[in-house]
Each structure stands twice: as structure tokens, then as C-alpha cells.
Amino acid sequence: MERLSLDISDVWLARKRIASLIKKTPLVKSTELSRCAGCPVYLKMETQHEIHAFKVRGAANKILSLNQKERARGVTTFSTGNHGMAVAWVASRLGIPAVICVSRRVPAAKTEAIQRLGGRLHIHGESQDEAEAECVRLEREEGLTVISPFDDPWVIAGQGTIGLELLEDLPELGSVIIPLSGGGLLSGIGLAVKTNRPTSRIIGVSMEGPAVMHYSLKKGKTLVMPERTTLADSLLGGLGTDNRYTFHMVGDLADQTLLVSEREIAEGIAFMLNHHRTVVEGAAATTIAAILSRKFKPDPQPVVLILSGANLDPSTLFQAVRMAANHTKDPV
């Protein structure tokens, strides 16, 4: 079975490989969330990478594993934004050409950022799957290497370096709550954390509606679902036409997957602004929502929330804060 070819040593190798490009991110205790949950709650600040999202880890590990010929031909990817930014950023650091294929649904803040980072932008189709098809064409016709956003052992191992950092900073951790889309983030962190601390709990959170991984796990097979507008736009996208790693890995590693509503995500964004003076995007706010909504059932063990990114349009931020203010008594 191909999925068994990835293990904890790949995560350690990833950590060494990406060390020159990626700095360790802080782990911050949240007094307010600890009070709400009744147990210590920590925030892993993946918002603090130069591109404000964790995806640089996987992209760096994958691109640094390419040989000289592959680097010279260049790389390409399809992405809801953060992965595209990550590939553009890593490639430009290493002097490698990068073509980023995105669907028309990707917010302007993200496409502009990709171009600023030196990526060549290809806007194609209405969904991730259409952008993916364009990407495959570039691979076939121009010989570029496709950097997959999640279903790739190097990408998964790169995201897993977050898990190693958590074990260093909080060896007594109990649960890790992780935003869940394609599942590369959860697979990597789950592999690193569960290998070293088998009693820990790994929880995936997605938005209600097009939570493809959540429903696929329930059905026992990968599903295709229509996309729709959500505050957690970084969690949009399918599992790929031929998922080889993350569907099985998330199935093995996740103890539970939860869904949160748009209103709960908005409240998560507003909460971070209010109590931590920090901007997070909707995808990251799903983890705050899991605590505030009490959908996550805490035990006395410390909980870590993965704040996966902070890339959102100002207009979306205002919309979220307004949505939250209309539903809470506290003035935001």
C-alpha cells in the first residue's frame, strides 16, 4: 500500500530540509479560551509566516526535494490561494519559475499577493477541479512539476513539522484541533503527534455545507460536492480525482471531525480581534468556533488550536465582524 510509505522519519527529514527557509512559529496561551473551555487552550500561530499561512512548510519540503532538471523547468499548482502563495514564495526564494492556476472564486487579496510574490497567475474555471485540470495540462505540455496542495507525501511531511514544534513546546498536549479541507495539514500533524503521543486526540474542523472530507469519511469513499461561498474559503475544494494519501490518513488519524456554521466562524474571527488583537482568516477561525460553540468536548488535558492562516480581504473581515456583532450582546 502506497500510503504506508510515509512515516515519522519523513517529518524529521522535512524539518531539516526546510529549516533554512521556515522559522518556528510561536505557541501562545489564550486566557479567555482556557476560561471558556475549562482547560488550558493554546494557539499555534501559523499566521506568522511571511505569507501568513502554514502552507509554506509543505511547499518548501516538496520543492526542495526536486532535482536540478525539475527545478529548471519550473513548478505549477492549483490552489484556493494560500498554497499558491506558498509555492510562489518558495519558488522565488530558490530562483525557480512558478505558474499558479486559480479558479475565479479565489478572493482578490490572494491573487494579488501571488503576483507580488513573483508567481505567474493563471485564472481558469469556477472550481478547484477545473484549475487542477489546467495545471495538469501545463505539466503535460510544458513539463512543469505540479506541486499538490495536500495529497503528496512531501507536502504532508512538511505540514507535519508543526506537530514536532508542538511536542517540543507542549509535550503534555492532549488534543489538537485542526482546520480540515484536503487533509494534508491534519495528516502531517496527526502523524507527528500520534506517533510520539498515542493518547492524544486529533480533531478536524470544517464549515457546514461543502465539508468534503467530513462527508467522505462518513460515506467511506471520496465524494464530489458543489462549492459554495463561505468565510472559510481556504477550506474549499475537493479531495482530488485520485486521492492517494490524505483520505486514508485522515481516516486513520482523526478521532473526530466537527462542522461549524458561518455565524460561528464569524464569531471566531471577531473573538480573535477582540481578545487577542489578531486577525485570522475564516479557515483558522473554525478552531476558535469549535471551542466557543462547545462542539468540542474538552477534557482536563491542554488543547492546541492550529491558527492556520490570516489571509482575508478587509471586506470579508468587516462582514464577519458585523455578522458576529448582530448575534452577540457584547459590542464588538
Ligand X SMILES: *Cc1c(COP(=O)(O)O)cnc(C)c1O
53 is a site residue for ligand X (CB under 6 A): yes
**Any bridge partners for residue 256, and if so which?**
203
Strands (E), 80-222: 98-102, 120-123, 145-146, 175-179, 201-207
What span, in angstroms and rounded, lies between the C-alpha atoms of 326 and 53?
29
For ligand X, which residue of 107, 309, 316, 317 counts as binding (CB under 6 A)? Answer: 309
Instruction: Please report, for residues 54, 56, 149, 206, 285, the alpha-carbon distance to residue 93 in angstroms, rounded to integers and kept in the order given.
Output: 16, 11, 19, 32, 29
Residue with smaller CB distance to ligand X, 174 or 237: 237
| Alpha helices for 254-313 (secondary structure H) | 262-276, 282-292
For ligand X, which residue of 78, 150, 154, 271 counts as binding (CB under 6 A)? Answer: 150
55 is a site residue for ligand X (CB under 6 A): yes
Residue with smaller CB distance to ligand X, 31 or 226: 226
257 is a site residue for ligand X (CB under 6 A): no
Segment lying near ligand X (by CB under 6 A), choices 5-13, 166-174, 267-275, 278-286? 278-286
180 is a site residue for ligand X (CB under 6 A): yes
For ligand X, which residue of 284, 291, 303, 317 counts as binding (CB under 6 A)? Answer: 284
269 is a site residue for ligand X (CB under 6 A): no
Residue with smaller CB distance to ligand X, 214 or 327: 214
234 is a site residue for ligand X (CB under 6 A): yes
For ligand X, which residue of 107, 125, 153, 182 counts as binding (CB under 6 A)? Answer: 182
Instruction: Please report, for residues 13, 44, 113, 309, 319, the alpha-carbon distance to residue 312 in angstroms, rounded to integers and kept in the order given.
Output: 32, 18, 11, 9, 11
* Residues in 106-145 at the binding interface with ligand X, rule: CB under 6 A: none
* Residues in 76-95 at the binding interface with ligand X, rule: CB under 6 A: 82
What span, in angstroms and rounded, lies between the C-alpha atoms of 144 and 167?
36
179 is a site residue for ligand X (CB under 6 A): yes
Are 182 and 150 in contact by the 8 Å Cβ rule? The answer is: yes
Segment lying near ligand X (by CB under 6 A), choices 94-102, 140-148, 173-181, 314-322? 173-181
For residue 239, the SS3 value is: coil
Q: Which x/- pattern over 190-229 shows residues binding ligand X (rule: CB under 6 A)?
A: ----------------------------------------
185 is a site residue for ligand X (CB under 6 A): yes
Q: Would you give the end-to-end CA distance of the chain in angstroms?
A: 51
The H or E element that residue 71 is part of is: helix 68-73
For ligand X, which residue of 308, 316, 323, 332 counts as binding (CB under 6 A)? Answer: 308
**What 8-state DSSP symbol labels residue 79?**
-
Q: Give the residue among 183, 178, 125 at the shortest CA–CA distance from 155.
A: 183
240 is a site residue for ligand X (CB under 6 A): no
Q: Binding residues for ligand X, per CB under 6 A? A: 53, 55, 82, 150, 179-186, 234-235, 281, 283-284, 308-309
